[in-house]
Amino acid sequence: MERTLITGGAGFLGSHLCEFFIAQGHEVISMDNLIKKENIENIAHLMGHERFKYIKYDVTEYLHVEGKLDNILHFASLASPKDYLDYPIQTLKVGSLGTHKTLGLAKEKKARFLLASTSEVYGDPMVHPQPESYPGNVDPVVPRGVYDEAKRFAEAITMAYHRTHGLQTRIARIFNTYGPRMRLDDGRALPNFMVQALKGEDITVYGNGTQTRSFCYVDDLIEGIKKLLYSNEAEPVNLGNPEEITILDFAKEIVHLTGSKSRINFCPLPQNDPKVRQPDINKAKTILGWEPKINRQEGLRRTLQYFKKKLEV
């Protein structure tokens, strides 16, 4: 039986990973400091399972886990602009100190280590779509730079541990992912649009809505994480859905899906908001044999059921 530690294990992606690896027969340890206290609901259904353990802990502190560990998946981080702008120092610390501590634990346990990085390492890209070879266009001193640079540092120290200590490391550059268990007040486009549409409020679109995003359903992403973890690829790999859509068209899609009478309300574009975001996933296709299978219409339909239940509509 493999023993797997998932930091940030009560978060959106972390909780899905806990569920997935339990289903794979692993013993799973979920570690989370619950900076967003409501996240505990994401793993409530796993409490009491014989192969699941939850530890409330901040991974930027001294880190020790009793017994063997086969895998460490480092997903501890605030990931939405709203959150990391509210907690800039904590975001920087978990990307730097937290990654250092979890890498040290992986070295001690001789465990595989997978870093949850992000498409935000590409910043506001000058190359489109974004391949792993693109070094990015990032401004470290703007407010959202705390997340971008935290993840860029995390990638750098992960590669340093791989090269210096021979650690089995993996780096997943995760693009926009959605699905059940996203927080209603997450601040990202999909939760904003879905909550506003279901409440009949105006849909908030920043700028003129021509900026693009690519949305990957969570089940596809989790499968990609598994395949990357068990591969031999130490260099970064993009994981996301390359189907690109403008934010304005996405907002209209949500309005149509929900049957809402909401109108579009345009607001000023936030500073350094990326104009385009689309993964080049040729590397994932070639090395992992992975690509998304769930189309956006099906993924949104599943996600809508979750949001309706949460909002009781």
Q: What CA–CA distances, in Å, run from 306 to 97, 178, 239, 289, 295?
A: 34, 11, 24, 30, 17
Backbone φ, ψ for residue 47 (5° rounding): -60, 135
Backbone φ, ψ for residue 15 (5° rounding): -70, -35
Active site residue 147: yes
Q: Does an H or E element contain 92, and which? A: helix 88-109
Distance (Å, rounded) from C-alpha 12 to C-alpha 177?
A: 10
Backbone φ, ψ for residue 232 (5° rounding): -110, 20
Q: Answer for the pair 147, 82: CB distance below 8 angstroms, yes or no.
A: no
Distance (Å, rounded) from C-alpha 4 to C-alpha 293?
A: 26
DSSP sequence for 171-219: EEEE--EE-TT--TT--SHHHHHHHHHHHTPPEEEETTS--EEE-EEHH
Select which of 54, 84, 122, 147 is catalytic.
147
Distance (Å, rounded) from C-alpha 170 to C-alpha 264?
A: 41
Catalytic residues: 147
